[in-house]
């Protein structure tokens, strides 16, 4: 009888410890809400940007969505341009993806601060690592919004918005913009 009580006590302890550790693991594996596929749905300059010689200027409020989207996703080739997406993945990875084709390529990393007010995307764009820090971060189930300050872009990127930038010889133009990433899944 004493052996049965000891055996039952051991079983109860094992089951209890299993339940305790199982609960702890569930808490640690909570899914990060930012994970998923996104497109850039809106980008608007928050300050004017001007070439060094002043020959080309874009005012604050200018919509640069297409130029930013093209700059981000130029490095991945998909059968359809509408298939291109940015994937915020587990383990702090960023991929540029062709969703329908199931193709993706490693494009950098991401990190969010503990207050969830800043999201930093370190992206490999056209052969260069470009840190893009979204401040004033706003998250919802459908979108991520934030402000990006002082990102150097080649003048040709802005030429699609203002033709005068096509003749600018500056190595880069600093731009500040609000960005909205729309979740696709």
Do 5 and 64 fall into the same domain?
no
End-to-end alpha carbon distance in the chain = 59
Do 89 and 138 fall into the same domain?
yes
Do 68 and 133 fall into the same domain?
yes
pLDDT (0 to 100) of residue 2: 52
**Tens-of-pLDDT digits for all 185 residues of the chain?**
554 444 334 444 333 444 344 444 444 446 899 999 999 999 999 999 999 999 999 999 999 999 988 888 888 899 988 899 999 999 999 999 999 999 999 999 999 999 999 999 998 876 778 889 999 999 999 999 999 999 888 999 999 999 999 999 999 999 999 999 999 97
Domain range spanning residue 83? Answer: 36-183
pLDDT (0 to 100) of residue 125: 72
* Global pTM value: 0.79
Q: Which two tokens stand for residue 87?
A: 């994937």
| CB environment 135-151: b (16+ within 10 A), e (fewer) | eebebeeeebbbebeeb
Do 21 and 58 fall into the same domain?
no
Distance separating alpha carbons of residues 95 and 110, to the nearest angstrom: 10
Do 140 and 70 fall into the same domain?
yes
Q: How many domains does the chain have?
A: 2
Q: Report in angstroms the alpha-carbon separations of 42 from 53, 81, 144, 147.
A: 29, 17, 11, 11
Do 72 and 18 fall into the same domain?
no
Distance separating alpha carbons of residues 25 and 149, to the nearest angstrom: 38
């Amino acid at each position: 009888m004493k052996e049965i009580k000891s055996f039952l006590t051991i079983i109860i302890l094992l089951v209890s410890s299993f339940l305790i550790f199982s609960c702890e693991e569930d808490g640690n594996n909570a899914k990060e809400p930012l994970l998923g596929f996104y497109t850039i749905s809106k980008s608007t300059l928050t300050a004017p940007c001007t070439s060094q010689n002043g020959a080309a200027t874009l005012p604050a409020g200018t919509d640069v969505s297409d130029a930013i989207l093209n700059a981000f996703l130029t490095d991945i080739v998909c059968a359809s341009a509408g298939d291109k997406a940015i994937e915020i993945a587990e383990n702090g990875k960023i991929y540029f993806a062709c969703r329908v084709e199931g193709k993706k390529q490693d494009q950098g990393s991401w990190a969010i601060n503990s207050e969830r007010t800043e999201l930093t995307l370190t992206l490999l764009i056209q052969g260069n690592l470009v840190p893009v820090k979204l401040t004033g971060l706003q998250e919802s189930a459908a979108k991520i919004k934030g402000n990006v300050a002082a990102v150097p872009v080649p003048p040709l990127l802005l030429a699609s918005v203002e033709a005068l930038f096509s003749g600018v010889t500056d190595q880069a133009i600093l731009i500040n913009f609000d960005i909205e990433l729309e979740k696709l899944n």
